[in-house]
């Protein structure tokens, strides 16, 4: 088997996972894999599934001695190419999909060349892949101060409640902001804003990708992100394994959502913004706060394009005349119970694609 054959086999394997890794005419996806995996690592990765397995179980699949591959698997986990967990002292490894997964864990090693390849891949195939299922990997929850707490707010829509339920938290740099900076398109927004929980937090800390923080520090990061106008995007499950704090100039999700005709229809969010025209002073503060460019001024009054509003609430918290508010959608989005259920659902929807 040639080197190209090995990487194509890995591409096919990654494309079989719940979140795919589609082929392109240019072959940029193979170039990405060659930047990340050695040939030996690429071959080994094809023996992992989304379900955690011990070194002994993987060695049987690969028909290789367990002692021979133990170090290789550990090295791949440290590089963020596969996921390692530990339970009861037993190490297990599972496959990672490219996004959200392998890509985000390259935050410490990403180069300009890799960033250029990633942007090309998004344009050629990855954007369509990520919006191809009804269920997205991430959702949007409003900043706490924008919600009317006189109504019953579900725990999964309360970002502070999400943080307070976590026993292990890590924070890492935002790879989207770092990537854009490498391409000369960076911004001044806070960068150490990616929050990871539970087993993912252990992996980030153990592999030096992120650092451990307390609930208090995580809440402080939320405050700073809200002040900077970053959209709060936790994983689309009720247990939550991560929270992204995103800007519309760098975040791969938001940047590419804005290229679509009706991004609100494919965003998992339970709110939308509305304007009281009688209270609006025409100050235009909300225009700078909106990361989706959903607000324009018409005859001196703010106007919200509901095709682009994703219900983040950032415009509400800084409106000096209290003309803006969030309204609950009639049809509520109830996230899957946990990450397993989330990715099973995404996988099933992807399998049904024509």
pTM above 0.85, yes or no: yes
Query: How big is the chain, counted in residues?
Result: 354
Encoded tokens for 269 = 């969010």
| Distance between CA atoms of residues 83 and 197, nearest Å | 14
Query: So what's the pLDDT on residue 353?
Result: 80
Q: Which domains does the chain have, with CATH numbers?
A: 3-127 (1.10.10.10), 136-160+175-187+219-354 (3.30.70.20)
Q: Percentage helix, strand, coil, to 5, in the chain? A: 45, 15, 40
pLDDT tens digits, the chain, 354 residues: what are they?
Answer: 898 999 999 999 999 999 999 999 999 999 999 999 999 999 999 999 999 999 999 999 999 999 999 999 999 999 999 999 998 889 999 999 999 999 999 999 999 999 999 999 999 999 999 999 999 999 999 987 766 655 556 778 999 999 999 999 999 999 999 999 999 999 999 999 999 999 999 999 999 999 999 999 999 999 999 999 999 999 999 999 999 999 999 999 999 999 999 999 999 999 999 999 999 999 999 999 999 999 999 999 999 999 999 999 999 999 999 999 999 999 999 999 999 999 999 999 999 987
* pLDDT, position 89: 87
């Amino acid at each position: 088997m040639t080197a190209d054959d090995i990487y194509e086999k890995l591409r096919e394997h990654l494309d079989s996972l719940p979140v795919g890794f589609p082929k392109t005419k240019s072959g940029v996806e193979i170039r990405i894999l060659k930047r990340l995996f050695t040939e030996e690592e690429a071959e080994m990765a094809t023996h992992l599934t989304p379900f955690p397995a011990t070194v002994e179980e993987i060695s049987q699949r690969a028909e290789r001695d367990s002692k021979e591959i133990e170090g290789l698997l550990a090295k791949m986990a440290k590089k963020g190419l596969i996921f390692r967990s530990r339970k009861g002292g037993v190490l297990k490894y599972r496959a990672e999909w490219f996004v959200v997964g392998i890509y985000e864990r390259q935050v410490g090693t990403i180069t300009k060349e890799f960033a250029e390849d990633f942007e090309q891949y998004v344009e050629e195939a990855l954007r369509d892949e990520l919006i191809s299922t009804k269920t997205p990997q991430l959702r949007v929850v409003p900043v706490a101060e924008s919600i009317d707490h006189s109504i019953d707010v579900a725990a999964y829509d309360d970002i502070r409640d999400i943080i307070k339920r976590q026993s292990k938290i890590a924070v890492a740099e935002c790879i989207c902001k770092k990537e854009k900076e490498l391409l000369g398109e960076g911004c001044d927004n806070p960068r150490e804003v990616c929050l990871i929980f539970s087993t993912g937090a252990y992996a980030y800390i153990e592999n030096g990708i992120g650092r451990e923080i307390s609930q208090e520090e995580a809440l402080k990061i939320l405050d700073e992100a809200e002040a900077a106008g970053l959209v709060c995007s936790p994983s689309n499950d009720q247990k939550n394994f991560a929270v992204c704090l995103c800007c519309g100039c760098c975040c791969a999700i938001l940047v590419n959502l804005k290229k679509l005709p009706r991004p609100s229809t494919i965003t998992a969010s339970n709110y939308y913004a509305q304007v009281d025209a009688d209270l609006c002073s025409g100050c235009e503060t909300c225009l700078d706060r909106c990361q989706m460019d959903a607000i324009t001024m018409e005859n001196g009054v703010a106007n919200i394009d509901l095709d682009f509003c994703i219900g983040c609430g950032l415009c509400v918290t800084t409106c000096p005349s209290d003309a803006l508010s969030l309204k609950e959608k009639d049809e509520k989005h109830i996230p899957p119970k946990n990450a397993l259920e989330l990715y099973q659902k995404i996988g099933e929807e992807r399998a049904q694609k024509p």
